[in-house]
Structure 1
Amino acid sequence: MNKDYSQDLSEIRSLMNRSSRFLSLSGTSGIMAGIYAIIGAGIAKIFFFPTQFEYENIGYASPQLVPIVIDLMLVLLLSVVTAYVLSAKEAKKNDEKIWDETAKRLAFHFLIPLLTGGAYILLKLNQGDFASAASLMLIFYGLALLNASKYTIGTIKYLGILEILIGLICACFPGYGFWFWTIGFGLLHIVYGSLMIIQKK
């Protein structure tokens, strides 16, 4: 009898967890986002600022600015599209909806810090502060992950914390923002995506 109660409680907890959390995040999409970021960083390093001096002195008058922004936007677009396609596939496999109330809450809590950070970064860029852009991207992205973690796989909060820490370290070494950005958005995504895949097996 006690065994039956225990099994029933376990099933109830599982149902409550599935109803309150979006569990169809794809680890593969995290790996792909990391790969896109590293490729984008590689393109920027080779073609736009091959030397440390060029990176530190980028500004509005720099011919590299527009190509770098395009490069970043392409990385973001590919990451978002890949995440949606693979998460939709995962949701279909789990017999779940990709856009239910939980997914909406996840998106809302993720986008508020992210859009706030994006607006703040644009304001700083408008003031000519390019050196802090990489650290701010990492910090606000980490805050967005942390804020949304309660609506998805709980361990994603640790990725958010790591992104924030790397962003803070990056702020201490603004001349090396390129490398910290590559680690935060590239390497960490690959490692975390791999861990998600292993965790689900």
Structure 2
Amino acid sequence: MNENVKDDLQHIRKMMEQSSRFISLSGLSGVIAGIIALLGAGAAYFIYDADGSNYFDGRPEIYNPEMILKLFVLAIIVLVAAVGAGIFFTVRKSRRKGLKIWTSTTRHLLMALGVPLIAGGLFCVASLYQYYFIIIAPATLVFYGLALVNAAKYTYSDIQNLGYCEILLGIIVLFLPGYGLLFWAVGFGLLHIIYGLVMYRKYE
């Protein structure tokens, strides 16, 4: 009798979790996004190097429009590839576990993520317009971290810790001009890979 009650409680708890939290996030999407980010950071470094710019000297510089365009296109490619990988692995996990993807929880999650990300994107565009190149990498880390912390209540709580790490990296590199690309690679690359592996082992 006690075993039946325990099983029923576990079943109810699982159903409540599925209805209130988006649990279709796949750890593999984090791993792939991290790899894509590392490749993007490497490509960005070579673009700087080919232009004869020393990103790591820590001095504010005005870069030529051609190089800025290359970096912008690279950023779009990295973003689309990472988001695409996330959607693919999330859909695959949802279908495998028989879970619905588009629910009210999904909408709340996207809203929680979207507001800080859109604000951060506009901030970075304004920084680019004003030639404040040196703060763009730190800003992406901070705003992305804020988005993760904000969205944690609608999905796995583990992403909150990832968000705190992203914010911390962004704040630290604000005081270390010239190391933005390196910290960006650590935040979006290495941390995503570690987070993805932990999530995959824990939930999949």
TM-score, normalised on structure 1? 0.93
Query: Is the counterpart of residue 120 in structure 1 residue 135 in structure 2?
Result: no
For residues 55 and 151 of structure 2, the distance between their equivalents in structure 1, rounded to whole angstroms, comes to 36
State the partner residue of 1:9: 9
In structure 2, stretches of 5+ residues that fail to align are none
SS of equivalent to 1:69: helix
Q: 2:103 aligns with which of 97, 100, 105?
A: 100
Deviates more, 1:55-64 or 1:153-162: 55-64
Q: Deviations over 1:41-94 (max 9, x none)?
A: 111112333677246454353531110111111000001111111100100011
Contact 1:144 1:160 in 2 (8 A): yes
In structure 2, the partner of 1:150 is 153
1:137 to 130, 137, 140: 140
Q: Describe the SS at the equivalent of 2:133.
A: coil
1:173 aligns with 2:176: yes
Q: Which residue of 2 aligns with 1:53?
A: 54
1:94-149 per-position Cα deviation (integer Å, ceiling 9, x unaligned) = 10122221111111110111001111121222222111100000000000011111
> How far apart are the structure 2 equivalents of 1:37 and 1:86?
17
Residues in 1 aligned to 2:47 and 2:139: alpha-carbon distance in whole angstroms? 24
Consecutive aligned runs of 4 or more in structure 1 exceeding 6 Å deviation: none
The letter for the 1-side match of 2:90 is S
Q: Does 1:200 align with 2:178?
A: no
Structure 1 unaligned spans of 5+: none
Q: Is the 8 A contact 1:40 1:75 kept in 2?
A: yes
Q: Distance in 2 between matches of 1:121 and 1:47?
A: 19
Counting matched residue pairs gives: 201
Higher mean displacement: 61-70 or 83-92: 61-70
Q: What SS does the corresponding residue of 2:178 show, helix, strand or coil?
A: helix
Partner of 1:28: 28
2:62–2:131 contact (8 Å) kept in structure 1:
yes
Q: Distance in 2 between matches of 1:105 and 1:11?
A: 24
Opposite residue 154 of structure 1, the aligned amino acid is S
Paired AA for residue 153 in structure 2:
K
Percent of residue pairs identical: 39
- The Cα RMSD (Å) is 1.7
TM-score (norm 2): 0.92
